[in-house]
Amino acid sequence: MDVQSYIYTQISLFRKFVDEVFLLTNFESKEYKIALGLIAFNPIFWNVVARLEHSTHFLTKITGSAKRGCYLLAATIFSLGIVRDYFYESALRQQPVSAILSNDKLAYIGIAYIALGQVLVLTSMYQLGITGTYLGDYFGILMDHRVTSFPFNYFDNPMYQGSTFTFLGYALYNRKPAGLIATLIVHVMYQIALKLEEPFTARIYANRAAQEAEKKDN
């Protein structure tokens, strides 16, 4: 087989796979719609609330301190994540199984992705703590230095990457094409969240550095 034929064959197989993914996904499922809605909603919610807190300090005022305000946001985000995961798992149980994904090797790969994803999420939370994980810098709770130990020495955004890996692993393990579409949406929403969060967070720390430099000069 020449290179051109090989490329054509691979493209044909990929198109067949994509067609099967969409054909075997029941987009009319109520649970699936709710799961996709929460996947899209959650990152938007915490970015909007965190920025509102940064500009108005409304959670700090309601709870009486920045730390308690951050804990309230953390509990809300965590709860929304549990609800999202519940509907995702419930929806996948009702979705059709793919013959292409019905492979023991893919199931083992799925388990590996789930394990890696959970390791990244849990070690990220351990390194950052609650306030570091749940947007504490928007409350004025800034870290003294950048975390560079595992998993941050191997992954740029291990919390988001770990969550995406977990979604992917669960889809592969259960052989559900609907899970692959959900995983793609998870990835896209986290990329959007990073586009919003990273410049804003960098500006917060730059402002602190400028204020500290000004104090030294005075």
Other residues' Cβ atoms within 10 Å of the Cβ of residue 114: 19
Indicate the annotated binding residues for S-adenosyl-L-methionine. Answer: 115-117, 197-198
What is the value of pTM for the model shown?
A: 0.91
111 Rama class: left (phi>0) / alpha (psi -120 to 50) / beta: alpha
pLDDT tens-digit profile of 118-169?
A: 999 999 999 999 999 999 999 999 998 889 999 999 999 999 999 999 999 9
Query: What integer pLDDT is reported at residue 19 of this predicted model?
Result: 81
Please give the Cα distance from 196 to 192 (Å, whole number). Answer: 6
Residues 6+ apart with CB under 8 A from 108: none
Q: How far apart are CA 53 and CA 59, in angstroms?
A: 6
| DSSP for 179-215, written as a single string | HHHHHHHHHHHHHHHHHHHHHHHHHHHHHHHHHHHHH
Residue spans per domain, the chain: 29-208
Between CA 174 and CA 179 the distance in angstroms is: 9
Query: CB of 47 within 8 A of CB of 193?
Result: yes
Q: Which residue has the tokens 């965190």?
A: 50
**Residues of the chain falling short of pLDDT 50:** none
* pLDDT confidence of residue 188: 97
Reply yes or no: is the peptide bond before residue 151 cis, omega within 30 of 0: yes
pLDDT value at residue 217: 72
Q: Which two tokens stand for residue 43?
A: 């990152």
Note whether 162 and 121 are within 8 A (CB): yes
What's the pLDDT score for residue 1? 58
Q: Which residues are annotated as a binding site?
A: 115-117, 197-198
User: In this structure, are residues 151 and 126 in contact, taking their beta carbons and an 8 Å threshold?
Assistant: no
Residue 40, burial from CB neighbour count under 10 angstroms (0-12, 13-18, 19+): middle
pLDDT computed for residue 25 by the predictor:
95
